Structure 1
Amino acid sequence: MAVCCDLEVDVNGEETFLLDKETICLFSARLSRLFGKSTSAKRNKVIFHDFPGGAGNFELISRFCYNNGKIDINPSNISSLYSAAQFMEMNDSVSGNCNLLGAIEKSIEKIGDWTWSDLLVALKHCQDLQQVATSSGVLERCLDSLVGRLVTNNEASPCASTSSPDSPRFRQSCDTKSAENSKHGFSRAAWWFEDLSVLNPNMIEMLIKSMVSKKVDNVIIGRFLVYYQKSKFYIASSDEKHKVLEIVIDMLHILDPNSISCRSLFGILRVMLNLNISKSSRSKLESMIGSQLDQATLDNLLIPSPHGTSYLYDVNLVLKFLKAFLRGDRQLSPIRTKKVGTLIDLYIAEVAPDPCLKPSKFLALITALPDSARDSCDELYHAIDIYLEVHAGLSEDEKMKICCAPNYEKLSTEACIHLSQNAKFRSKSVVQALTSRLKGTNYSENKGKAKKDEAGEQAVVYTGKLEISADNEKLREHLQGMQCRVMELEEVCKKMQTQMAKFMKSKAAAANATPRLMPRFCS
């Protein structure tokens, strides 16, 4: 039987279809209204510039029309059919015996009965038509059904959520339940990782938010996000990597802070350093790392400086971690704070030999933590000693500020002996500062204490004394040696004052007595 082709349809410039106008208009209210009751034998042409799904989707609709309103609605075409049916206004037909939109809506209501594979297929197709899939309810129902199965089957949290996902105990706990592991050897809790890693970042964002709202174990979600980032980076373009990483970081940030290990966060950080991601996502990652800084290692912190800078390590980044740690740990847990103090002292010792590290950055590092973070200041003192040796050209003011940073009361006996013999700590300003620091007074309060003799010469009188236990005479001698020059000035000043007083008395008596030789000022 001959088929009439009196309608030409150009779909988005992709392909042109020759169709029977009467057949198509029978099911499409849009085309039926367009042509009305026209009986012209002339071939009509319609151009669609924004047909949803393009030529492939229009062909699907054409087959539905030519098959007298019969079509298999399944997970692979439900979103496409819905978008096309809406566009063509196929909610009612001229014959009144077919309502494609109504049939699709009935199928959407049965999504809860679909298999896991059906849900995945539908989600993949929803990615291309996300706006339509959202408006139709297909996407929401698929996500709800998929996440609901993870929750009800308890397959998302077979392991204790308090364990670190990277700890041996966590892995062992999961591995003991791996009878149903997937082909890649993931634990039962992670069997779905590979299935969902095919989704695009926007879909992953919706998925994770749905999982969080359904109370899926945050540890498992964190593990999935790390897996997703790694799996996507193998084939993603540079722009896609930006999007993937930003979504992963943003989604990790809404999870429980302890749901992802510090090691994993540093792994993401090293990837981030090579990408120019948004400032917001960068700040979120820095904040997450800072909140777990007590779990970091020295190797984690030794991050090379940004390209174009002269210093070796990215000190600014570590300072941001410290700021986030102190801001987040409002209770300042002594154990956590002291662990960070030990870690930062090791870091300071590593960066101190860097000749390009500015005094202001070094000072910011050594003063960032409160005094309670250190039981001993030996490591900090030795790092300062190295820094002063490498940076011999520092001004007196810079030296003074750096040397005043440690609490010298927390130095060991050996460190105190070393300090007493350390020539780098013997300038006048530094000695005065150290004396005041040991005494517990303010350097600025003692700085101006001076007296002048008649000739106008100034001698600074230092009131601070080194207070060391009396049962360690050897240590006392070493520390007193550090002050010898200051003490000499003090003694000379006292002698001059005594001799001046005698001279003034003698001068007053000479007015009423026989002149005699003037006494010597100094013996």
Structure 2
Amino acid sequence: MNELCDLKSVMCAFSGRLRTMVKQEKKKMSRKEALCIKLAEFPGGAEGFELVARFCYNNGRIPLCPSNLPLLHCAAVFLEMTEEVCACNLLAQAEAFVNGLFYWTWADVLTAVKSCEPFAAAADASGLLERLISALFSKITAGPETPTGGAAVGTPTNRSSSSCSSSPDTAGFARSSSTKTPESMKPCVGRGEWWFDDMTSLSPPTIEKVMRVLGCYGVENKNLILTRFLLHYLRAATRRPPCTEEGGGATTLAGLADTAVHGVALVGGTAFSCRGLFWVLRIVTAVGLSRECRHKLERLMGLMLDQATLDDLLVSGVDGGVYDVNLVMRLVRVFVSSEEDADAPSQRMRKVGRLIDKYLGEISPDQGLKVSKFLAVAESLPDSARECYDGVYRALDIYLESHPTLSLEDRTTLCRCLNYEKLTLEACKDLAKNRRIPPGVAVQALASQQSKLQITKHAKEGRSDPSQTPRRVVRASARTRSVDLSDGRGGSDEKEVLRLNLQRMQSRVVELERACKEMKGQMSKMAKGGRSFGSAASCHQAGGRGLPRLC
């Protein structure tokens, strides 16, 4: 009991708040009751109270260093340990130590900022955190090799701790550093990136406070070097275990991601390549991103899609798929809308067409890729974006091979994305022999190919001799027309033969499909034991019909 009374009397000699609380409690309590004082939300908890007690029992002296300064400063503010209570009190000594920020090294300032994190609210309310952040960026703007005045940390503050005074030079710098506004530091930020790794040790709320102090949080971020730092910090944060983020760290990281995207959108393609933008997307997506910022970033990426490579497009899926196909479709949509005003397909459009064909071939083996999604990607570009559809056919063949259980209807629907007239002769031959392609589609492809050959043939025959004069050309064409009219046959016989051949081929395909259905029905009946194999064979020989010949 005597020790408790001694503790109260010793600490009350330095703390104005404790004096007031003790007086109020004594008025309320009776003589038999024990005096009990509760200090809620004490900065640093038991550790902070122990440091203050050591200061009080050591006759107002305690070694100050960058690691314990924030805790002692906030505790002194909380307990009202001012000069009005006692001369050379703890708050005055802490302020004198802070006034020597000019003599601190970069590591010392960073240590002090990190020490504020357990009681960031108290450090922010006292103004200490903002002063330390200002000193931190003063060191950054000065560069890594800037001398610190030849004094060790605490040299002037040791004098102030003992005599509670500071030199005129130190006091003058204290006034200039404390009154230095963040706006005056903004143009200086960006002389290098040597400090990026050191700052990754700070918590997300501290980084948010740093950005707010500099006036570069959210849409106000217009600094490229701070944008690069945020991306570096977010990348490091994604590599840390989730359990290390405390107190709404995920929400804070999402806010930092939005801030970084605002900075990226401001500079656009002048500072980031298309691959760099995909790198940014992967980082900010891992920590969370608002819809507005995602739209900004994707629009910037879509406008530069012709500079992307296949590796850039292979972004991991977020909804269970192997790849994020929806992202690529949105980027293609942005790019196509930007090229709508062009009279003819540009080289950029053709380049994107070849890129999407490669992308289709890469995602085709994905078992989770639906038919509708494959079609959506293949048809996301206009027909003019592709000079040849061989790449689409190869991707389609890979998809059919990887999904053997597709129905005839689905396979027919998939072939809708092909333009048969833009298939090469080799691809068309392979399509006709491909068993995974429905027969009706093969017939259409062959018909389109034959029609294209006929058109090419007539175009070659209709070319005039360059040596002929225009008058001779006109006369020759007139003679040709007269011969065609008088003959009455010309190319009509050839067209009629072609039409009959196509009709015959189509009828054979239909007959083949009908026969296959009949065989399936007979085999299902045989499996049920309706009739024996011998009777079925005799019936087939007696009145059954064999499979039609295709040639």
Q: Same fold (TM over 0.5)?
A: yes
Work out whether 1:87 is the aligned partner of 2:78: yes
Structure 1 pair 469/358, CA: closer, same or farther in 2 (3 Å)? Answer: farther
CA contact (8 A) 2:231 2:260 kept: no
CA contact (8 A) 1:189 1:220 kept: no
Code of the aligned partner of 2:48? N
Structure 1 pair 469/58, CA: closer, same or farther in 2 (3 Å)? Answer: farther
Q: How does 1:141-290 map to 2 (within 5 A)?
A: 141-151=131-141, 153=143, 189-207=192-210, 210=214, 212=216, 213=221, 215-217=223-225, 220-221=228-229, 224-225=232-233, 228-229=236-237, 233=240, 237=243, 246=254, 249-256=257-264, 280=290, 284=294
Could you report, residue by residue, the CA deviation over 1:96-147 in whole angstroms, capped at 9, with x for unpaired residues? x345445545655664664312211111111112111222222222223323
Q: Counterpart in 2 of 1:24? A: 11
Q: What's the offset of the Cα at 1:366? A: 0.9
SS of residue in 2 equivalent to 1:46:
coil
Q: Counterpart in 2 of 1:136? A: 126
CA contact (8 A) 1:222 1:252 kept: yes
**Distance across 1 between alignment mates of 2:82 and 2:459:** 99
Q: Counterpart in 2 of 1:360? A: 372
Structure 1 pair 47/486, CA: closer, same or farther in 2 (3 Å)? Answer: same
**Distance across 1 between alignment mates of 2:312 and 2:430:** 31
Code of the aligned partner of 1:122? A
**Distance across 1 between alignment mates of 2:260 and 2:338:** 24
1:117 corresponds to which of 88, 107, 121 = 107
CA contact (8 A) 1:352 1:384 kept: yes
Q: Counterpart in 1 of 2:3? A: 5
Q: TM-score, normalised by structure 2?
A: 0.57
Q: Counterpart in 1 of 2:327? A: 320
Structure 1 pair 365/63, CA: closer, same or farther in 2 (3 Å)? Answer: same
Q: What's the offset of the Cα at 1:56? A: 1.7
Q: Counterpart in 1 of 2:356? A: 344
Q: Counterpart in 2 of 1:485? A: 502
SS of residue in 1 equivalent to 2:357:
helix
Structure 1 pair 373/211, CA: closer, same or farther in 2 (3 Å)? Answer: farther
Q: What's the offset of the Cα at 1:69? A: 3.9
SS of residue in 2 equivalent to 1:191:
coil
CA contact (8 A) 1:290 1:321 kept: no
| Number of residue-to-residue matches in the alignment | 407
Q: Counterpart in 2 of 1:180? A: none
Q: What's the offset of the Cα at 1:52? A: 1.6
**Distance across 1 between alignment mates of 2:499 and 2:47:** 88
CA contact (8 A) 1:126 1:133 kept: yes
Q: What's the offset of the Cα at 1:30? A: 1.7
Structure 1 pair 342/91, CA: closer, same or farther in 2 (3 Å)? Answer: farther
Q: Counterpart in 1 of 2:389? A: 377
Structure 1 pair 5/304, CA: closer, same or farther in 2 (3 Å)? Answer: closer
Q: TM-score, normalised by structure 1?
A: 0.59
Q: What's the offset of the Cα at 1:265? A: 7.3
**Distance across 2 between alignment mates of 1:415 and 1:489:** 21
**Distance across 2 between alignment mates of 1:438 and 1:203:** 71
Could you report, residue by residue, the CA deviation over 1:224-271 in whole angstroms, capped at 9, with x for unpaired residues? 3366247x53x6647679679757744542331556676677778889
Percent identity over the alignment is 33
Q: How does 1:436-455 map to 2 (within 5 A)?
A: none
Q: Counterpart in 1 of 2:150? A: none
Q: What's the offset of the Cα at 1:218? A: 5.5
Q: Counterpart in 2 of 1:163? A: none
Q: Counterpart in 2 of 1:458? A: none
**Distance across 2 between alignment mates of 1:418 and 1:432:** 11
SS of residue in 1 equivalent to 2:388:
coil
Structure 1 pair 322/335, CA: closer, same or farther in 2 (3 Å)? Answer: farther
SS of residue in 2 equivalent to 1:129:
helix
Structure 1 pair 33/433, CA: closer, same or farther in 2 (3 Å)? Answer: farther
1:76 corresponds to which of 57, 61, 67 = 67
Code of the aligned partner of 2:3? C
Q: Counterpart in 1 of 2:510? A: none
Where is the strand percentage greater, Structure 1 or Structure 2? Answer: 1
CA contact (8 A) 2:305 2:332 kept: yes
CA contact (8 A) 1:31 1:88 kept: yes
Cα RMSD over matched residues? 5.2
Q: Counterpart in 1 of 2:52? A: 61
CA contact (8 A) 1:377 1:410 kept: yes
SS of residue in 1 equivalent to 2:37:
strand
Structure 1 pair 344/112, CA: closer, same or farther in 2 (3 Å)? Answer: farther
Structure 1: gaps (5+ residues): 8-18, 156-187, 440-463, 491-523
**Distance across 1 between alignment mates of 2:141 and 2:337:** 34
Code of the aligned partner of 1:80? L
**Distance across 2 between alignment mates of 1:253 and 1:144:** 24
**Distance across 1 between alignment mates of 2:88 and 2:336:** 64
Where is the helix percentage greater, Structure 1 or Structure 2? Answer: 2
Q: Counterpart in 1 of 2:458? A: 470
**Distance across 2 between alignment mates of 1:282 and 1:384:** 35
**Distance across 2 between alignment mates of 1:350 and 1:99:** 71
Q: What's the offset of the Cα at 1:196? A: 1.7
Could you report, residue by residue, the CA deviation over 1:360-394 in whole angstroms, capped at 9, with x for unpaired residues? 12111212234454343220133224445665765
Q: Counterpart in 2 of 1:33? A: 20
Code of the aligned partner of 1:79? P
